[in-house]
Amino acid sequence: MRVLDTIPFHLDFDELKRQLHLNRKTVFSADVRKLAGLAESLIKAKAIYAVSCVNRRVGDTVEVDGVTFTSRVLRVNLDKVESVFPFIITIGRALEDEASSCNDLLRQFYLEAIGDMALRSSRQYLEKFLKRHFGLGQLSRMSPGSLKDWPITEQKPLFSLFDDVENLVGVTLTESMLMIPRKSVSGIFFPTEVMFFSCQLCPRNGCPARKAPYDETLEKEYGLHDG
């Protein structure tokens, strides 16, 4: 188990424009750039990860370091994998608190968008770190709650793989299994020859976070389709 507590983040204004669906030629005001500077100073990204062994696979369950997860998709994805990388990432509470206390809705909107970008950047940083540090080629990931097949209740066993998450990275779970701070993400990275995205098994329309189109054929291959 290891903690990364100096994850860097520098705001890319072109990327912010893309996230906000603005014209690339849009010129941000000095106030927005000042706000961006404030946001960067408030973001304290941390990550915790472990190198875990896949112990056994039975039916729709897979055991990782003695902890059982129930998900057919996860079990299939780990069928030929021996080691995986459970993780928890957060950007901290400071930016979230600043956004919550803000009465200016546009300012709040910008802060939330920057927070989302910082969390995504931190996840990419961890992925690149794992590839470099362990000499890996391609990594895919799954997160509890990203699919009906692996519900958010699986956060509890995932967190149990780590000791004192709150003390190490400042993240806690609510009774409904949501993470506090909100700008946090958890999951399992795993080596793969064919890139996997949970989006491929999700038919939800109009999702702004979609990374791959829904694939009904792939859903059948995972044994999730009734038809």
Residues 226 and 187 in one domain: no
Specify the 3-state DSSP secondary structure of 2. Answer: strand
More confident site: 186 or 27: 186
> 35 is written with which tokens?
């706000």
Could you identify the residue written with the tokens 């097949």?
149
Residues 29 and 50 in one domain: yes
More confident site: 181 or 23: 181
Kind plus residue range of the DSSP H or E element containing 62: strand 61-64
Burial 108-139 (b: 16+ CB within 10 A, else e): eebbbebbebbbbbbbebbbeebeeeeebeeb
> 158 is written with which tokens?
């995932």
* pLDDT per residue as tens digits for the range 74-132: 999 999 999 999 999 999 999 999 999 988 999 999 999 999 999 999 999 999 999 99
> 6 is written with which tokens?
């100096």
Residues 20 and 128 in one domain: yes
Residues 159 and 212 in one domain: no
Residues 123 and 227 in one domain: no
* Residue 35 C-beta-side C-alpha neighbours within 13 Å: 21
Residues 74 and 179 in one domain: yes
Q: What is the Cα–Cα distance from 165 to 26, expressed in whole angstroms?
A: 41
Burial 22-43 (b: 16+ CB within 10 A, else e): eeeeeeeeeebeebbebbeebb
Residues 204 and 152 in one domain: no
Residues 116 and 217 in one domain: no
Domain count, the chain: 2
* pLDDT per residue as tens digits for the range 151-182: 999 999 999 999 899 999 999 999 999 999 99
Structural domain including 48 reads 2-196
User: Taking 60 as the threshold, does the pLDDT of residue 226 lie above it?
Assistant: no
- pLDDT for 160 equals 96
Residues 139 and 150 in one domain: yes
Residues 82 and 180 in one domain: yes
Residues 145 and 220 in one domain: no
